[in-house]
Amino acid sequence: MNLVPTESELDWVLVLAPFRKDADYIAAFLREQKIQVEAAKADDDLVENLALSPGIIVITHEALNPEVVARIEVHLAEQPDWSEVPIIVLLERTAPIARIRNQLQTSWPGSRLLFHTRPIAPLELVNGVQSNLLVRLRQRQVRDSIERERELRLELNHRVKNILASVTSIFHMTRRGATTVQDLASDFTGRLQALSNVHTAVFEAGGEEVWLSAVVDLTVSPYNSDGVSRINVTGSDLVVSRDAGTTIALCLHELITNAIKYGALSFPDGHVEIVWTIAKDAGSDFSLNWTEVGGPAVREPTRQGYGTRYVRSALGSLFGKAPEIVFAPTGFRCSVSGPVARIAKQKENL
């Protein structure tokens, strides 16, 4: 991390010095130090320069007339809460410093006042300006941090609402398909775990997208234990959106649950093949296939259960067309295809 600010990160300096060529002199040696500086007069030029939001104001004793003080007062009053504009005041040695300080602190409460008596060495003034440029930079960094924190709070609130909406929807769908309290508790817990797995994968990925392999692995890994793979997964990896990952995980969970109760995973030697492919053509370039092997003879049910209804609806919404569900005697199959753009972007070549 670079802790040294670049010139473009630093603010600029407004100089108000109407006596002789003081403004030109001050501006010249500040520019020698690569500090951006503008000189203004106590007229409309001052108003225009203040409107450009200088980071620091350098003002000499001669410029402290009521009109200038009033215009700067208006400018400071318009500053946001995070902004405390440094103002370097260059006073004559014989000036009533205490009285001027009290007056300016009353007129300019939203400033960071610093007083120097003249004559002042150029190096001392440059050091003072550079130090306060860094102060100004830190103020802006605090502002950015506060704004980012606010954005994160809004984003967190949005995500929590979405998660609660998903949980509510899953509960109502599970309740409609449950026949006993035990079934409701078991099915609801399993679906929540599938949802949790996706959020874990997205969190570990650090964004709104996640690798499809991570979603699938987290969903099927509880069923591949003790070195035995009952569910085999094959497919080239790609990044999918949070919503796509959630939908695919929940659909796989429903298919796994059905296979355990009625299908291939209810037999000791039965297994499942999950295969996805990405084709090069621009039509249906992504396909996901679920195939059960080695299970009991399959019969098409007389009534469509919750799991089948959910899979049809969810995958149909995700890919733009309903999946093909086949109750073949040799094993249940489910396949869906659609443009890969509906779920993800292809990983860019590095």
Whether 135 and 78 share a structural domain: yes
Of 123, 144, 165, the last residue of a domain is 144
Whether 136 and 196 share a structural domain: no
Whether 48 and 118 share a structural domain: yes
In the structure encoding, which two tokens stand for residue 157, read together? 């609130």
The answer to the question of residue 131 being in a domain is yes
The answer to the question of residue 167 being in a domain is no
Residue 207 has pLDDT above 80, yes or no: no
Whether 122 and 54 share a structural domain: yes
- Give residue 165's pLDDT: 67
What's the pLDDT band for 210 if we cut at 50, 70, 90?
confident
Whether 207 and 295 share a structural domain: yes
Whether 184 and 246 share a structural domain: yes
Whether 20 and 104 share a structural domain: yes
What's the pLDDT band for 13 if we cut at 50, 70, 90?
very high
CATH code of the domain covering residue 293: 3.30.565.10
- Give residue 4's pLDDT: 39
Distance CA 343, CA 239 (A): 8
| Residue span of the structural domain in which 255 resides | 178-342
Closest to 290 (Cα-Cα) out of 325, 247, 338, 321:
325
What's the pLDDT band for 186 if we cut at 50, 70, 90?
confident
Residue 347 has pLDDT above 70, yes or no: no
The answer to the question of residue 206 being in a domain is yes
- Give residue 243's pLDDT: 84
Q: In whole angstroms, how far apart are CA 302 and each of 180, 295, 299, 305, 327?
A: 21, 20, 9, 9, 12
Residue 349 has pLDDT above 60, yes or no: no
Domains in the chain, number: 2
Whether 120 and 190 share a structural domain: no
Q: Cis (ω within 30 of 0) for the bond into 323?
A: no
Whether 59 and 119 share a structural domain: yes
Whether 131 and 202 share a structural domain: no
Closest to 168 (Cα-Cα) out of 191, 202, 200, 199:
191
Whether 35 and 133 share a structural domain: yes
Residue 131 has pLDDT above 80, yes or no: yes
* pLDDT mean across residues, the chain: 84
Which amino acid, residue 216?
V
The answer to the question of residue 159 being in a domain is no
Distance CA 180, CA 182 (A): 5
The pairing of beta strand 209-211 with beta strand 85-92: unpaired
DSSP characters over 157-207: HHHHHHHHHHHHHHHHHHHHH-SSHHHHHHHHHHHHHHHHHHHHHHHHHTS
Residue 2 has pLDDT above 60, yes or no: no
Residue 5 has pLDDT above 70, yes or no: no
Q: What is the CA radius of gyration of the chain?
A: 34
Of 120, 144, 168, the last residue of a domain is 144
pLDDT digits (tens, 9 = 90+) for 268-288: 889 999 999 988 765 558 999
The answer to the question of residue 259 being in a domain is yes
The answer to the question of residue 114 being in a domain is yes
Distance CA 116, CA 313 (A): 74
CATH code of the domain covering residue 89: 3.40.50.2300
The answer to the question of residue 153 being in a domain is no
Q: Which residue has the higher pLDDT, 73 or 254?
A: 73
Whether 336 and 211 share a structural domain: yes
Q: Which residue has the higher pLDDT, 262 or 346?
A: 262
Strand partners, 258: none
pLDDT digits (tens, 9 = 90+) for 293-324: 999 988 888 777 777 888 998 899 999 999 99
Average of pLDDT values for 61-75?
92
Residue 67 has pLDDT above 80, yes or no: yes
Angle between helices 181-205 and 212-220 (to 10 degrees): 150
Distance CA 215, CA 330 (A): 28
The answer to the question of residue 172 being in a domain is no
